[in-house]
Amino acid sequence: MSGHLAEPSLPVLIVDDHPDIRLSLRILMRSEGIASVDVESPAAACEAAARQTFACAIVDLNYAADTTSGLEGMALIERLRHDVPDLPLVVMTAWGSVDLAVRAMRLGAADFIEKPWNNARMVHTVRSQIALRQMREENLRLRTETALARQSADVMRVCESSAMRRVVELASRIASGDANVLVLGENGSGKSLLAREIHALSPRARHPLIRADMASMSEARFAGEMFGDELPSPRPGRFELAHGGSLIMEEVGAIPLAQQATLLRVLEEGEFERGDSVRTRRADVRVISTSNADMEAAIRAHRFRRDLLYRLNAMQIRLPSLRERVEDIVPLARHFLLRECVRRGRGGMALTPSAERALRNYPWPGNVRELEHVVARAVLLGSHDDIDAEVLGLLPPEPLPLLLDRLTLPEAEEMLTRQALERYDNNLQRAADALGISRQSLYRRLEKHRARGGFDPAA
């Protein structure tokens, strides 16, 4: 996802020829925080669906011209299924006909409610259909994202260096199995891309690939995001969405210690519960984890469970940093250059010898991600087909001791704090560890910098 399946911002379409019924449903939806649009006829419903996107539709089967057979309602279901096939349809009728219900479901209705309805059942049905639609859309988005990632997986195969050739060979062998994988490496080295490549090469490639960023997930929302919620509405979590496929858990070193036991149970038994539900669910998921942290150090500091690491670390791959694979720098730059030229409709751009020397001599603290951004910027800013060292704009960083000599103590502290946060993608715990201070101390320093008008990492 991205992410998490949010409460719907799209309205619900209500179709009924009785004003009182439309009013009652409108009030009920509003009381649940769900916007709605109501219309009185099948023709008006088709017009509304053509103009606007809806989260769900509540459709009556009987109208003034045909009050018992449900023919108008059936025709409307067929029309909506044809015009907006992704729109979930909940049908209503006052006649309690099982035959009508069966016929409506065969035409594509998602659920059936009899008038007079029970408010709790109505709300639960609508929310369930909205959640299922969001889940389908999320799966479609992730499948599309996976396909795009598969197309760009050539980046992983740009490997002149022996270090990277070994990684690609190992990843290909690991992909064919079903064991959990831990991918280690610095920020920007391509851990997530390698994780996607493992999934794409695996027997699970036709099934969902779900991503979860542990570093950006708050402890309060961890259980709901990973295992789902029942209240205020049913919502599947990442494990449920990934059933049959793979779950990429990025930066697993940031998983809250209090939640690690729950995660361990899922990895050991494949079982979990949504929120406060007592119903046990199962998920067949291969977990591919990534981390830029020293996991052994986290275990020694009692921030990470060793038994959980064993479960995540059945197979391990370490991605080398870009400075450890110097032979790959220029080939990767050429790869990014070609891709960016195609994307922007520019042709014939090439790196000059001076640019290639600058690329090889630069330390690349941001690894492959930084290289990709540098090339993209050069294509955007370059006014000629030849990209030279000046267009790349790679200035070797000034030696730190020399720079510190020119700073006051508060300025030096702010600079070191800023660098630690940038290095660890604003992960406060890791930045604090790198600085040798507690997380609370880092909070105090950030507040002090904000108060004196310094940088604000949240900005």
State how far the Cα of 356 lies from the Cα of 349, in Å rounded to an integer. 14
DSSP state of 313: T
pLDDT at 56: 93
Mean pLDDT of 118-122: 91
Question: For all residues of the chain together, what is the average pLDDT?
Answer: 85
Mean pLDDT of 128-152: 67
Mean pLDDT of 179-204: 93
Range of 304-313, 398-407, 447-456 with top mean pLDDT: 304-313
The widest CA-to-CA distance across the chain, in whole angstroms, is 88
The CATH fold of domain 400-451: Arc Repressor Mutant, subunit A (1.10.10)
Give me the architecture of the 323-392 domain, per CATH. Answer: Orthogonal Bundle (1.10)
Long-range contacts of 188-191 (CB under 8 A, 24+ apart): 188/366, 188/367, 188/368, 188/369, 188/370, 189/319, 189/320, 189/321, 189/322, 189/367, 189/368, 189/369, 190/155, 190/156, 190/319, 190/367, 190/368, 190/369, 191/250, 191/290, 191/291, 191/292, 191/319
Distances in Å between the Cα of 322 and the Cα atoms of 3, 287, 317, 443 are 29, 26, 16, 32
In this predicted structure, which of 194-208, 255-269, 391-405 has the lowest mean pLDDT?
391-405
pLDDT at 52 over 80: yes
Q: Which two tokens stand for residue 190?
A: 């391509």
Q: Which two tokens stand for residue 401?
A: 């001791």
State how far the Cα of 253 lies from the Cα of 309, in Å rounded to an integer. 9
For the chain, helix, strand, coil in percent to 5 are: 55, 15, 35
More confident residue, 384 or 13: 13
Report the amino acid identity of residue 310. Y
**Per-residue confidence at 216, pLDDT binned at 50, 70, 90?**
confident
> Is CATH 3.10.129.10 correct for 12-132?
no
pLDDT at 140: 67
Strand 386-387 and strand 350-351: the pairing is parallel
At residue 159's C-alpha, the angle toward residues 158 and 165, to 5°, is 135
pLDDT tens digit string along 416-432?
888 888 777 778 887 88
Domain boundaries, the chain: 12-132, 158-318, 323-392, 400-451
Best CATH choice for the domain 158-318 from the list 3.40.50.300, 3.40.109.10, 3.40.50.2300, 3.30.930.10: 3.40.50.300
Instruction: Please say whether the beta carbons of 101 and 170 come within 8 A.
Output: no
Instruction: Please say whether the beta carbons of 62 and 76 come within 8 A.
Output: no
State how far the Cα of 249 lies from the Cα of 255, in Å rounded to an integer. 10
Distances in Å between the Cα of 244 and the Cα atoms of 203, 263, 285, 288, 365 are 10, 18, 6, 14, 37
The answer to whether the 12-132 and 158-318 domains have the same CATH topology is yes
**Per-residue confidence at 65, pLDDT binned at 50, 70, 90?**
low
Render the burial of 319-350: b for 16+ CB within 10 Å, e for the rest.
bbbbeebeebbbebbbbbbebbbeeeeeeebe
Distances in Å between the Cα of 396 and the Cα atoms of 182, 361, 389 are 33, 9, 12
Between helix 191-201 and helix 162-175 the angle, nearest 10°, is: 40
Torsion from C-alpha of 45, 47, 52, 55, nearest 10 degrees: 20
pLDDT at 7: 42
More confident residue, 98 or 308: 308
